Each structure stands twice: as structure tokens, then as C-alpha cells.
């Protein structure tokens, strides 16, 4: 008869014990997973409990931390697992609150600065690769990394305004430095890629802008050849371009690699010299145009035999044959 009251007393004590669980009702593991029967001191039994089974694995420096460093009270499930819950944000929220985006649990060093900048659309290449963080990210502290934008002018507007050779502001140059300068370079040397409207190739591949852009003028310059090369055109005598009425578009005969060798591609439709039997049979214009005039030409200087009568024998069946160049051209307009 005394057995029933004893069982009731045990049930009451057991219920009271669960109700007083200092870790809260949501902690469902056995007390023996962390404690021994001789003490409430924390002595983990890895077979029964491992922190890696929770939503926050203990890695790196976190594995060395004391429980109370993170769990300030005994209700463990109420402890936040965000970085800023434990760590003061020394960056003042300028890069967000996820420390793991840049740091690891091992230390606070950042080993992937180039990759992080590339993810943000500003690769650290060329001279930017050697710049200190604070060279670009200027603030009241050395740890605040406010976004400053990817436009060159955000950092280099003072360079733009101070440049005098040439004067960028006066000439209305674009403030996008990459239009003229090589982002992969280590200095301000112009890349030339900006000159796409007038390719700087061959003889035009010069570093002195003022050779063409005189008086500090960088807009409205004519792209025609004679705007720079009229003196060359007028002073050439072999052949005399002015007297012969040659085109003032130098590219008709020349290329940017040099004035020689010159070609005259429009010559073949008139008389083939780059194809047919005359291809490679001449060295200069005066080989045929012996007077220096394109209006006159000589066939018999090259095709004369030791005895002109040999040609007469070959042409004996041709009525009105005469040993003059104009007659040669009349019958052989293509040089065949």
C-alpha cells in the first residue's frame, strides 16, 4: 500500500527536474552527453554530442574558444550564429556583416583580395595591383572599405585636371582613363587604342602627340593625308607628283610602313604591270615613263633588238607597222 505514494513522489520530482532544465526545453540531448554523475562541469562525450552536428561547426579559432565566449547564458539555442553577434564590425558595415565573405575561421588575414575585387567588377591589374588599400579607400579609419565606384575619375580626377601635356580638360578628353591608357600597364603610357578612328600604325606609331596635334589642338584635326603631308607631296620629283597630277590621297600608292616601295594598283586596268608578262620586269616608274611623265611611255627601250629589222620581220604581215612605242601599245594594250 505504501508503494503507490512512492511512485507518485518520483514522478513529481522527475517532472520538476525537466521543468528546471537550465538549457531550455529545446535542448533534447541526454545530460550525460556533456556532464558526469559527479559534477555539472562540462565534459563532452563526442560519441553522444559534437558541436559540428549543430548549425555552427567549430573550425579554426572557434574550436579553441571557451563555451562561455559565445554562449553568454545557458539557453544555448538562443545564441546567434552570425559573425557580428560575437565580433565587432571594425569595417562599420561598409562591406556587409558576413565576415566569412573575406575571412576564414583561422585568422583575420585576407588572402583573396584580387578575387574579391574582381567579383565587385574592378580587377586589380597593372598599377592597381600594387596599390595599398587606403590609396583608394579613404575614410576616417583605415578599416572602412566604402564602395567608391569603378569609374576612373572617382580616384584620378586630380590627375586628369593636372595633366598639361596634353591638357586633358582643355581638350575635352574623356574622363574614362581606359579609353587612352592601358589598365594592365604600370604607368600612364597611352595605349593608342583610343585612336581607332585613325589607326596609329607604321610611321604613324609615334609617342609625340604634338607632332600632329600642334598648338594643343586635339579636336577637329583633318584625317586627310595632305593635312600633314602636303610638303612631302609637293617636294617629290621622282616622279613629280604635282606636275603629274597624282592623287593627294597618299594611301592610293603608299602605306604607313614607309614611302617606298610605292604601288599604283589602278595601273593594271590601264596596262598590267603587277600581273601578266610585265609583272616583276621593272624596278621604277621611269623604266617605262622615261621622260618622267605618265602621259608618255616607252616600249622600244626595253623591247628593241640589236637589229630593229628583227621586229620588222616578225611584223611583216602587219600593215602599217612602225617601230614606235605608241604602235606597240595600239596592238598590245595588255602587254601580251
End-to-end CA distance of the chain: 140
Q: Angle 129-133-134 (CA atoms, 0-180°, nearest 5)?
A: 135
Q: What is the DSSP letter of 336?
A: -
pLDDT, tens digit, 9 for 90 and up, residues 263-280: 888 888 889 998 999 998
The pLDDT value given to residue 120: 84
Q: Range with the lowest mean pLDDT among 210-214, 229-233, 254-258?
A: 210-214
The neighbour count for residue 148, using CB atoms within 10 Å, is 13
CA distances 42 to 28, 53, 101, 176, 307, Å, are 16, 17, 33, 62, 124
Q: Is 294 helix (H, G, I), strand (E, B) or coil?
A: coil
pLDDT of residue 191: 67
> Is the predicted pLDDT of residue 10 greater than 60, yes or no?
no
Q: Which three cell numbers stand for residue 162?
A: 593636372
Residue with cell 556583416: 97
Q: Which residue has the cell 588575414?
A: 109
Predicted pLDDT at 16 = 43
pLDDT digits (tens, 9 = 90+) for 124-167: 999 999 888 888 888 888 888 888 888 999 899 999 999 887 88
What was the pLDDT predicted at 15?
A: 44
pLDDT for the residue 13: 40
Higher pLDDT, 109 or 310: 109
Amino acid at each position: 500500500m505504501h508503494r503507490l505514494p512512492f511512485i507518485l513522489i518520483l514522478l513529481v520530482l522527475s517532472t520538476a527536474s525537466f521543468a528546471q532544465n537550465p538549457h531550455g526545453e529545446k535542448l533534447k540531448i541526454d545530460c550525460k552527453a556533456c556532464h558526469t554523475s559527479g559534477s555539472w562541469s562540462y565534459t563532452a562525450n563526442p560519441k553522444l554530442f559534437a558541436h559540428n552536428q549543430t548549425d555552427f561547426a567549430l573550425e579554426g579559432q572557434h574550436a579553441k574558444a571557451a563555451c562561455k565566449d559565445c554562449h553568454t547564458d545557458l539557453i544555448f539555442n538562443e545564441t546567434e550564429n552570425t559573425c557580428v553577434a560575437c565580433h565587432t564590425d571594425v569595417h562599420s558595415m561598409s562591406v556587409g556583416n558576413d565576415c566569412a565573405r573575406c575571412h576564414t575561421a583561422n585568422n583575420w588575414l585576407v588572402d583573396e583580395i584580387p578575387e574579391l575585387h574582381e567579383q565587385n567588377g574592378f580587377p586589380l591589374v597593372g598599377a592597381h595591383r600594387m596599390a595599398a588599400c587606403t590609396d583608394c579607400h579613404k575614410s576616417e579609419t583605415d578599416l572602412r572599405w566604402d564602395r567608391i565606384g569603378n569609374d576612373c575619375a572617382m580616384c584620378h580626377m586630380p590627375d586628369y585636371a593636372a595633366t598639361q601635356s596634353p591638357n586633358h580638360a582643355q581638350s575635352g578628353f574623356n574622363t574614362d582613363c581606359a579609353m587612352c591608357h592601358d589598365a594592365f600597364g604600370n604607368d600612364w603610357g597611352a595605349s593608342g587604342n583610343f585612336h581607332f578612328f585613325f589607326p596609329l600604325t607604321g610611321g604613324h606609331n609615334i609617342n609625340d602627340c604634338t607632332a600632329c596635334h600642334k598648338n594643343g589642338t586635339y579636336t577637329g584635326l583633318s584625317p586627310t593625308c595632305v593635312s600633314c603631308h602636303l610638303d612631302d607631296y609637293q617636294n617629290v620629283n621622282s616622279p613629280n607628283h604635282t606636275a603629274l597630277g597624282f592623287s593627294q590621297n597618299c594611301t592610293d600608292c603608299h602605306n604607313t610602313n614607309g614611302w617606298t616601295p610605292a604601288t599604283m594598283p589602278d595601273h593594271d586596268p590601264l596596262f598590267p604591270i603587277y600581273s601578266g608578262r610585265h609583272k616583276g620586269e621593272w624596278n621604277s616608274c621611269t623604266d617605262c615613263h622615261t621622260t618622267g611623265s605618265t602621259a608618255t611611255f616607252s616600249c622600244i627601250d626595253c623591247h628593241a633588238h640589236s637589229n630593229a629589222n628583227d621586229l620588222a620581220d616578225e611584223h611583216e604581215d602587219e600593215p602599217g607597222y612602225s617601230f614606235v612605242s605608241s604602235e606597240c601599245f595600239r596592238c598590245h594594250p595588255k602587254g601580251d
